[in-house]
Structure 1
Amino acid sequence: MPLRTLETWPHGAIMLDAEHTRFALWAPDAFYVSVELEDGQSLPLLPQADGWFVIKTRCPAGTRYRYNIDGELEVPDPASRAQAGDIGDHSVVVDPLAYQWQNSAWTGRPWNEAVIYELHVGTLGGFSGVEQHLARLIEMGITAIELMPLAQFPGDRNWGYDGVLPYAPQASYGSPEQLKHLIDTAHGMGLAVILDVVYNHFGPDGNYLHHYAKGFFRDDKHTPWGAAIDFRRREVRDFFIDNALMWLLEYRFDGLRLDAVHAIESPDFLQELAQRVRQQTDPVRNVWLMVENEHNQASLLEEGFDAQWNDDGHNALHVLLTGETDAYYADYAEQPTEQLARCLSQGFVFQGHMTRHGTPRGEPSGHLPPSAFVLFLQNHDQIGNRAFGERLHQLAPPDALKAATVLLLLSPMIPLMFMGDEFAAEEPFLFFTSHHGELAELVREGRRNEFAAFSAFADPHKREQIPDPNAPQTFEASRPTLSSDEQSSVYALYRRLLHLRHHHIIPRLPGAQALGADVLAKGAVSARWRMGDGSELRIDLNLSNTPVVHTPQVDAALLFEHPPHSADLLDQGTLAPYCALVSLTAAAPLLPSDGERQ
């Protein structure tokens, strides 16, 4: 397929020059389409083959418009590049070349350098608000920020997974130019920027495609969010693939994280998307592609995608840290230590293994490098999908959590943290929306009914206490305080561990491969990796409150220990409670070491 240019972009309002715009809408179920300009002009679009309606007309950037379908319904452009306000307001013609980039020579960072910080733009004050945190994140050791979805959604507060206009950055966060300024500023500081995108469904409010383009959806397949998107249609595929290309080419994002691809019924769509991205982005750029995928398809990670968010690793660690085994944690209730060991040595826990539902899940993944897996202790889902949005430090023993943090930040997997982790933020991250009327009621009740499977909420009266997603205070309560004392012990731990990662792990990560992981006792494992330079990294971890008999590694340089003096105990054959020891046996000269001990 030829490279996509502005002239060949099929969907939306595309500026052809400073004064002319082409409007194109795929509306196979419409008889008549016009573009209604805010100044009162009504311009009929000309019907084309295969359900397209197109017109080229004099129309500068900034023009506000809507489409009229059959003289009966006015709708926003599904490929709107910006909205004048909410989804019910006018779409806006955008000049994608207007922004003057200051860091156009930026080519990104290699994947092995990724240390990812996930954040919600709205809770941090929009695009300009996020910019205020960049210097601190870089000082801490973060190399990439990941923005939760930005596609225009109804209202002004939402997680972003209910987006209905995938091409338009959420208007309440700022303008397209402000988003580009955020990315440009980050690049100037050496920071990569990733975007979370949702290609598996549209949100329930503000999606008008069913009225004029039913071919976007399948009648025979359904997802938890409604009819499945029909990726068998070329027009539908192009709509989403070109969206990915827009974020990467026009906005210069450094990577994409594709949400819940297990809900996409056409796996070859994902392969085509990755192929098109690799074809159309400059080979000198480092462009990262990640997936969230309950199917644990290791094969996707060999077909253009760099990594998968490893829910398995999180779930095993969460059970070990908290003892919680409700709902999806039930799959990790019986053998969490063994499952953690499998994660550290092979990537996925479920590689064709049977789940609690009696169905096999996953593909073998032991041949993949550890960097094919994104590990995390928390993310937006794992905090926000709790009824009250509690964070992990409010659920787990502090020293156990510190030991798990050592594993997160010094293992060869790619680490991801969620905003506020580094300060042990006390604010929850709740599920919030800004729906109204009947939909607001459905969302509120649906949210509360989700927790019926949790023993703590078996009583319907208990579920009534779960915060209303639509209440403004639910959003306000989720805004984290990120100006805490940077000398706090938690922040100091994150900063120290990331300093070590940059000096000792990242340079050795290319070519790294797991050597195995041994179960020492309940909650205790010892994992080893052959690093790219031939050295051997070892992490001895005990998340239990009891000491474990264990043999120390001979001739290994200690990189880090928690708690203090736990290496001395290991020399005596004991792995202390709530302990993490990281050591490196060098087959090549070590980088300068600080003789690290906490």
Structure 2
Amino acid sequence: MLDASRDIAAASPSAIPRFGAWREKNETVFRIWAPAIAKLSIEIDGSAGVAMAPLANGWHEYRADLPFGTRYRYLLPDGTAIPDPASRRQEGGVHGESVLVSPDDHVWRCPDWRGRPWRETILYELHVGLLGGFVGVERELPRLAELGITAIELMPIADFPGSRNWGYDGVLQFAPAAAYGSAAELKSLIDRAHELGLSVFLDVVFNHFGPDGCYLHTHSPEFFKAGSQTPWGAGIDFDRPEVRAFYRACAVQWLDEFRFDGLRFDAVHAIPSAEFLLELEQDIRAALPRERHIHLVVENEDNDADLLGAYDAQWNDDFHHAVHVLLTGETRTYYASFAPAPLRHLARILESGFAFQGEVTPSRGRPRGKPSGHLAPSRFVNCLQNHDQIGNRLFGERLLALAEPAKVKVAAALLLLNPQIPMLFMGEEHGSRTPFYYFTDHNEELAQAVREGRKREFAHEDHGGDPLALDPNAADTFEASRPQPGDDAYDWLALYRELIGVRRRLIVPDLDNCRSTGAEPLGAQALKAIWRLGRCSLVLFANFGEEAVKAPSSAGRAIFSLGTAVLEADAVQLEGPSFLALLSD
């Protein structure tokens, strides 16, 4: 038996073991970690299986001179044919054949692109399928660049069963979803974004696999930790070096071969190894040129501020929840933790990052978070809407279907003009009221299980006869989720364009040296927040209520206002829903 560890390390300059299939000089290498299988075969272009060479530590390998485009599958001893778990392309879906692909299938037009500094980030989250696949997203890029967006973030694209999915049911982590287009089309999208000055982020799911099409259980049960479960499936064993190497190789592929500028790591609170997460961050940066701006962002329900000593930022759901309660009055589920004092929570978020920094939250009944006041404002990514907060509602309502437009505009101004990093969700910029449902394309058995699960989850709500709300698998549920502009689209676009312009001109240049000097509620539905920004102070006043509010204020230059916001000699008068941003010495 050959020693795989030395051979694998030698095959990769960055010392990250390679998975899958690739051309190496004059031959093709197929390599898979299948520790539960003593003898494994490979099927090439539908031919009879050929035995693979067993290597040490559960690895298997086959070498032959085969061209790009070769189709292959692995054969288990019982004759079961399975795709490559590190497949780069599939034919016939996630249960079909894997395909040997060239990493050089696109000639880059912007080979010298190095990305943008994090302080310039204005994110735009989107679903590739709803916008027409990789080609459709590429068509949208000039419009987004003209609006002032600096970075788009693709919801997960790892290949999944069927033709429509949110992406969090992905099972082939290295393969761009065939339903969205080819790898070359994805690279063209990224290249065009770079031509327009846009960075491109990818949402990756390293905490679980989807329920249909994951064959790791058949040949690598050691990939999973016995007795461990996440809310979405079997828990992964991140203590195993092969598992860690799998995800390191996957992350580097997206950033290196596809030239993504950053990754958003989904639900890292479901990855029970802070050691792995810190090691992953270090390995990614070590594998890529230092001159590139590579940005790594986490979603972490635990609000673990310690991770933000390494990762660039965290999605800050606390901002969303506090603003949502203020605008809608909703107090169910996780909103219950913010219901007693949403304005106080929002002030703390603006001043020091997280709303909960070790306190017990009512919705969880246990402590949440760690102190975050020492972190720069740019370590937090805020939003008013995202795929989770809209799509996990029964009816998929966007914010404008739940709250008064005048108050949503105040929230939009607070989002885009505070120094924390802002993110929009597709359609938000043109006032879309189109629902964003949860949608899938599963086999009928699994589809029925999902329907029954939603009925149980939303048993307390009246679905009002809406068939789409309870049937994610219906094609109409997907089609109804395509974002359509609101009747007042022009007004919303003008507002977002103005806010983004103010941010880019007056806030971004000094963002690296920004620090909070305090935030406080003003009455029941208004607040004031101040940051030191270079040689000036940025002062924001937001009134979400109908009642007038008057607050002391030093002299300053108004850089943006909404509603009736009057700057007097030593005070600010805010009538009804209104907003005022000042720069003062």
TM-score range, shorter chain: over 0.9
| C-alpha displacement of 1:88 | 1.6
Q: CA offsets per residue over residues 32-81 of structure 1, 9 Å max, x none?
A: 21111124152211111111101111111111111111142111100001
Q: 1:58 to 1:71 in 2, by over 3 A?
A: farther
Partner of 2:521: 519
Aligned to 2:6: none
Match of 1:550 in 2: 551
Which residue is equivalent to 1:13? 21
Per-residue CA shift, 1:368-391, capped at 9, x if unaligned? 010000010000111111111111
Mapped contact 1:38–1:65 kept (Cα < 8 A):
yes
CA distance in 2, matches of 1:480, 1:570: 45
- Is this contact kept in 1: 2:322–2:343, CA < 8 A? yes
Q: Can you list the C-alpha shifts for 1:117-152, whole angstroms capped at 9, x where unaligned? A: 000000000000001110110110000000000000
Deviations 1:218-243 (A, max 9, x none): 11321111221000000000111110
What is the alpha-carbon distance in structure 2 between the residues aligned to residue 238 and residue 534 of structure 1? 46
2:185 to 166, 178, 187: 178
Counterpart of 1:105 in structure 2: which amino acid? D
Question: Greater shift after overlay, 66-75 or 102-111?
Answer: 66-75
User: 492, 495, 514: which one pairs with 1:493?
Assistant: 495
Distance (whole Å) between structure 2 residues aligned to residue 442 and residue 584 of structure 1: 55
Q: Does 1:397 align with 2:434?
A: no
Task: Output the CA distance in 2 between the equivalents of 1:30 and 1:109.
Answer: 46
User: How far apart in 2 are the matches of 1:417 and 1:101?
Assistant: 28
What's the offset of the Cα at 1:530? 0.8
Paired with 1:545 and 1:494, the residues of 2 have a C-alpha distance of: 23
TM-fit CA distance, 1:510: 0.8
C-alpha change, 1:293 and 1:434, in structure 2 (3 Å) is same
Secondary structure at the aligned position of 1:205 is classed as coil
Provide the residue aligned with 1:414 in structure 2.
421
Report SS of the residue matched to 2:576.
coil
Structure 2 distance, partners of 1:475, 1:573, is 47
Corresponding residue of 1:381: 388
SS of match in other structure, 2:225: strand
Corresponding residue to 1:468 among 443, 464, 471: 471
Q: Which residue of 2 aligns with 1:315?
A: 321
More divergent stretch after superposition (336-345 vs 443-452): 443-452
Once the 2 structures are TM-superposed, how far is the Cα of residue 191 of structure 1 from its aligned partner? Answer: 0.6
Amino acid of the residue matched to residue 24 of structure 2? L
Aligned to 1:268: 275
The one of 344, 351, 355 equivalent to 1:349 is: 355
Q: Say if 1:448 and 1:464, in contact at 8 Å, map to a contact too.
A: no
Q: CA deviation at 1:465?
A: 7.1
Indicate yes or no: 2:548 matched with 1:540: no
8 A contact 2:16–2:245 mirrored in 1: no
Whole-Å separation in 1 of the counterparts to 2:502 and 2:336:
35
Residue 46 of structure 1: aligned partner: 53
8 Å contact kept, 1:221–1:228: yes
Q: Aligned partners of 2:568, 2:221: CA distance in 1, in Å?
A: 67
Q: CA separation of 1:451/1:570 partners in 2, compared to 1, >3 Å: closer, same or farther?
A: farther
Q: Secondary structure at the match of 1:29?
A: coil
Residue 425, structure 1, aligned to residue 432, structure 2:
yes
User: Sequence identity, in percent?
Assistant: 49
Pair 1:480-2:483 in alignment: yes
Question: How far apart are 1:486 and its partner, in Å?
Answer: 9.3
Question: What residue ranges of structure 2 are gaps of 5+ in the alignment?
Answer: 1-8
State whether residues 6 and 16 of structure 1, in contact with CA within 8 Å, keep that contact through their aligned partners in structure 2. Answer: no
Q: Distance in 1 between matches of 2:122 and 2:556?
A: 25
Q: For residue 581 of structure 1, give the secondary structure of its aligned residue in structure 2.
A: strand
Aligned residues of 1:370 and 1:513 also touching (Cα < 8 A): yes
2:492 maps to a residue whose letter is V
Distance 2:489 2:331 in 1: 35
Contact 2:16 2:249 (C-alpha < 8 Å) held by counterparts: no
CA distance in 1, matches of 2:279, 2:582: 42
The alpha-carbon deviation at position 534 of structure 1 amounts to 2.6
Where does residue 510 of structure 1 map in the other structure?
512
State the AA in 1 paired with 2:140. Answer: H
Aligned AA (1:476): E
In structure 2, how many angstroms separate the alpha carbons of the residues matched to 1:466 and 1:208? 31
Report the residue type matching 1:89 in the other structure: G
Corresponding letter in the other structure for 1:405: A
Q: Is the 8 A contact 2:124 2:153 kept in 1?
A: yes
Number of the residue aligned with 1:590? none
Q: Distance in 1 between matches of 2:11 and 2:74?
A: 28
Instruction: Give deviations 1:434-484, integer Å, cap 9, x for gaps.
Output: 0022111111111232224xx5x1x688797733000000000011125x7
Note the alpha carbon deviations across 1:263-289, whole angstroms, 9 max, x for none: 001111110110001111111100000
Partner of 1:560: 560
C-alpha distance in 2 between matches for 1:252 and 1:78 = 22
CA RMSD of aligned residues (A): 1.9
Counterparts of residues 422-461 of structure 1 (less than 5 Å): 422-452=429-459, 455=460, 457=461
Question: What stretches of structure 1 move > 3 A for 4+ residues in a row?
Answer: 1-9, 459-465, 484-487, 568-573
Q: Give the letter aligned to residue 509 of structure 2.
A: P
Structure 1 distance, partners of 2:48, 2:79, is 17
Q: Secondary structure at the match of 2:512?
A: coil
Q: Whole-Å Cα distance in 2 between the matches of residues 68 and 197 of structure 1?
A: 28
Is the deviation greater in 541-550 or in 491-500? 541-550
Aligned partners of 2:380 and 2:253: how far apart in 1? 26
Q: Deviations over 1:242-267 (max 9, x none)?
A: 10000001100000000000000111
Q: Deviations over 1:495-529 (max 9, x none)?
A: 01001111001101011111110111112110001
| 1:130 correspondence with 2:137 | yes
Structure 2 residue aligned with 1:592? none
The answer as to whether partners of 1:88 and 1:206 remain within 8 angstroms in 2 is yes
Amino acid in structure 1 at the alignment position of 2:562: H
Cα contact 1:451–1:463 (8 A) shared by 2: no
State the AA in 2 paired with 1:472. A
SS of the residue 1:227 aligns to: strand
CA spacing shift, 1:25–1:227, aligned 2, 3 Å: same
Q: Write the letter of the residue equivalent to 2:555.
A: D
* 1:125-274 paired onto structure 2 within 5 Å: 125-274=132-281
Deviation at residue 571 of structure 1 after TM alignment: 6.6
- Other-structure match for 1:324: 330
> Could you say what secondary structure the match of 1:578 adopts?
strand
Match of residue 589 from structure 1: none
Question: What is the deviation of 1:183?
Answer: 0.5
Q: 2:177 is matched by which residue type in structure 1?
A: Q
- The C-alpha deviation readout for 1:392-440, integer Å capped at 9, x for no partner, is 0111111110001000111100000000001111211100000022111
Aligned runs of 1:77-116 on 2, under 5 Å? 77-116=84-123
Gap change, CA 1:171 and 1:6, over 3 Å in 2: farther
Distance of 1:136 and 1:129 partners within structure 2: 12
Q: Distance in 1 between matches of 2:259 and 2:61?
A: 28
Q: Which residues of structure 1 form unaligned runs of 5+?
A: 587-598
Contact 1:153 1:160 in 2 (8 A): yes
Judged with a 3 Å threshold, the aligned counterparts in structure 2 of structure 1 residues 486 and 519 are, in CA distance, closer, same or farther, namely: closer
